Structure 1
Amino acid sequence: MAKVIFYEKPGCINNTRQKALLQAAGHLVEARNLLTENWTAERLRPFFGDLPVAEWFNPTAPAVQVGEVIPEQVDAATALTLMMANPLLIRRPLLRVGDRYLVGFNPEVVQAWIGLEAASPEQRAIRDHLMQQDLQTCPHNS
């Protein structure tokens, strides 16, 4: 079991599913509002690791959708500045376990990182149902 700090957009359908999947695996989830967090570049940068800067962005953010922000044309420092000013630009969720960080929710990556195995039959049923869902694409844009 891990204690997962889970930065989400409250009300996001997929963030709700992702948290339920983590909880079904026995993890303790501490949800925080990504949009009201007091982000600094130093606090935000570790979540992105070695990912290309374009993958730091939420592709469904309004500023990205209308072409105001073109993630492939932004450097790391500019990306962080934009994200601190407009947290909707940040790809969700952000996860922290101890001193390890992750952006986005790829079930295979999360499984390898902290595990998604459920112990009880009830938890396995929840997990199996959730794993059949698209946990990365915003259902409002599908």
Structure 2
Amino acid sequence: MSSVLFYEKPGCMSNAKQKALLTSLGHRLTVRNLLAERWTDERLRPFFGDLPMVDWFNPTAPRIKRGEVRPGMLDAETALALMLNDPLLIRRPLIESEYGCGCGFEPGQLLTALGVTLAADQDLQSCSRSGPDPRCDLPTDGAKT
């Protein structure tokens, strides 16, 4: 199929399921740690395309859950600056392929081009852990919370 650059948070159970699905479809994945990348505005912004700004954010990021960051109240410049400082805020995965780039793992043009078909009840985007304090959004590799 194609080569896919897949930016993940290491240890994220949802990212593991997403990678498994892409691999099962024959894609060759190059996996990178989203939290350790040296992002710039210019590198990060294209992943969001024409999505509404609130959809750029990881809704389970600790700072969002605590109400410290309110995506609906931000302009694009501030949103990107926050994400560059705290990559846990970035909705994941970030995917780059010959078909373009995008964020998240929900039905859309990029996943369709990659041959991904999700059943109506199949959610590979939401956090796979449950409970009041899922551990999937704890920082790794020295990332800030």
TM-score by length of 2: 0.82
Check the 8 A contact 2:94/2:101 in 1, yes or no.
Answer: yes
The structure 2 residue matched to 1:139, chosen from 118, 128, 136, is: 128
1:49-88 residue pairs with structure 2 within 5 A?
Answer: 49-88=49-88
SS in 2 for 1:20: helix
The answer for the alignment partner of 2:13 in structure 1 is 13
Structure-1 separation of matches of 2:127 and 2:65: 13
CA contact (8 A) 1:7 1:31 kept: yes
Q: 1:46: Cα distance to partner? A: 0.2
Structure with a larger share of its residues in helix: 1
Q: Distance in 1 between matches of 2:6 and 2:32?
A: 6
Deviation, 1:135, is: 0.5
Q: Which residue is equivalent to 1:122?
A: none
- C-alpha contact (below 8 Å) 1:60/1:141 kept by paired residues: no
1:2 positional shift: 1.1
CA contact (8 A) 1:93 1:104 kept: yes
Shift of 1:134: 2.4
The match for 2:23 is: 23
Counterpart secondary structure, 1:140? coil
Q: Which residue of the partner structure matches residue 124 of structure 1?
A: none
AA of the residue aligned to 1:46: P
Amino acid at match of 1:65: K
Q: What do the CA deviations read for 1:28-86 (whole angstroms, capped 9, x no partner)?
A: 01110000000000000000000111110000000000000001011111010000000
Quick one: which amino acid aligns to residue 94 of structure 1?
L
Q: Which runs of 5+ in 1 are unaligned?
A: 118-126
Give aligned pairs, total: 131
Q: Which has the larger radius of gyration?
A: 1
Against the structure 1 CA distance between its residues 84 and 104, is the aligned structure 2 distance closer, same or farther, given a 3 Å change threshold?
same
